[in-house]
Amino acid sequence: MINRPQNRQAISGYLFAIGATAIWSGNFIIARGLNENIPPISLAFWRWVVAVIVFLPFGLKSLIAERDLLLKRIPYLSVTALLGITIFNTLIYIAGQTTTAINLSLIAITFPVFIVILSRIVFRELITLNKAIGIIVVTIGVVLLITKGNLSSLLNITFAIGDVWMLAGALIFAIYSILLKQKPEELSIWSFQLSTFILGLIFLFPFFIWETAAVSPVEFTPKIVFSILYVGIFASLSAFIFWNKAIMTIGPTKSGMIYYSLPLFSGILAYVFLKEDISSIHLYSALLIMAGILTANYESKKSPDLLANRS
């Protein structure tokens, strides 16, 4: 009886994490589903226009109250916005032009491996044996995926360029995540998030103008409008709220484990809405990538002391 409230709280935390992951999986479906209807930069631009408009009622008060602190931190905020808002999400939509939604989601979840490597470079964090094995297993899974099981294609470089763009996006997101660890404590999450949304949109604007001049005007059909509203409202705001609630309830580690189910949701949605086939290569790649990430995140209770003695 005493543990019932805690159990309910844990269940709600997992449900928030699952909700955020499921919503984010829809972003990859839209990236692929609209590849012939709207250019990638335009999709990213209108996504963040909607996100900023929807976010304003929640974050404007904090933005105004903390404007002096924000101005002092403008270099940090600018770099964070450029990577996490301007570049990362645009790369997803560029990648969606030439690869499948399933591939996008599978490659997207490799970003924890890049975080391990970058943490070693930036913070001198030791790469344990588990992490090293995990990185190798994930790498094999990604190579299997982008070569479609034909490793000889590496010699001819015939795999989809979209897979490479998404891999670059995963690296960018890892750098962005490293930067989030350095978020100034005096900034609230609301002012931080809204300011990066706005800055990211500003940085994206010149590229949007260039793309608009280079390609045919976008015809805003109901399908495109609904998709933009989805990624602007749900993938940018609702998922953000759900994810933060999950982290506050069950912690970042358990929430992160749920995030690795992203390809499962994307695979189901891609099969239902985009009629994409789920082959054995996808299943083997998913198993290798998830096994590698779980291995890299596993820490033995004895390992800290042993590693401390080695260092």
**Mean pLDDT value of segment 172-177:** 87
Residue spans of the domains in the chain: they are 18-310
Given a contact cutoff of 8 angstroms between Cβ atoms, the answer to whether 159 and 99 are in contact is no
- pLDDT tens, residue by residue, 130-163: 878 888 888 788 777 767 677 665 555 556 789 8
Is 80 exceeded by the pLDDT of residue 301? no
Is 70 exceeded by the pLDDT of residue 106? yes
**Mean pLDDT value of segment 206-226:** 91
* Residue burial 233-271, b: 16+ Cβ < 10 Å; e: rest: bbbbbebbebbebbbebbeeeebbbbbbbbbebbbebbe
Residue 154: per-residue pLDDT:
55
Q: Which residue has the higher pLDDT, 65 or 8?
A: 65
Share of the chain above pLDDT 90, in %: 33
Average of per-residue pLDDT values in the chain: 83
Judged by average pLDDT, the poorest of 27-31, 38-42, 236-240 is: 236-240
Residue 270: per-residue pLDDT:
87
- pLDDT tens, residue by residue, 76-88: 999 999 999 999 9
Residue 156: per-residue pLDDT:
58
Most confidently modeled range among 96-100, 176-180, 203-207, 236-240: 203-207
Q: Which two tokens stand for residue 24?
A: 């984010």
Q: Residue 300 — φ and ψ, nearest 5°? A: -70, 150
Residue 305: per-residue pLDDT:
37
Is 90 exceeded by the pLDDT of residue 224? yes
Ramachandran assignment for 275, one of left (phi > 0), alpha (psi -120 to 50 degrees), beta (any other): left
Q: Residue 263 — φ and ψ, nearest 5°? A: -60, -30
Residue 151: per-residue pLDDT:
64
Supply the Cα-derived Rg of the chain in whole angstroms: 20
Is 50 exceeded by the pLDDT of residue 20? yes
CA dist list (Å): 31 to 28, 54, 218, 281: 5, 21, 15, 22
Residue 144: per-residue pLDDT:
78
Q: Which residue has the higher pLDDT, 292 or 220?
A: 220
- Closest alpha carbon to 284 in 140, 161, 165: 140
Residue 123: per-residue pLDDT:
74
**Mean pLDDT value of segment 95-118:** 84
Assign 180 a pLDDT band (cuts: 50, 70, 90).
confident
Residue 310: per-residue pLDDT:
36
Most confidently modeled range among 19-28, 101-110, 274-283: 19-28
Assign 127 a pLDDT band (cuts: 50, 70, 90).
confident
Show Cβ contacts of residue 89 under 8 Å, excluding neighbours closer than 6 positions.
44, 47, 48
Q: Which two tokens stand for residue 256?
A: 């992160």
Given a contact cutoff of 8 angstroms between Cβ atoms, the answer to whether 60 and 137 are in contact is no
Judged by average pLDDT, the poorest of 14-23, 159-168, 218-227, 243-252 is: 243-252
- pLDDT tens, residue by residue, 226-241: 999 999 999 888 887 8
Assign 4 a pLDDT band (cuts: 50, 70, 90).
low
Helix, strand, coil percent content, the chain, rounded in steps of 5:
80, 0, 20
For tokens 């083997």, the residue is 284
Residue 280: per-residue pLDDT:
82
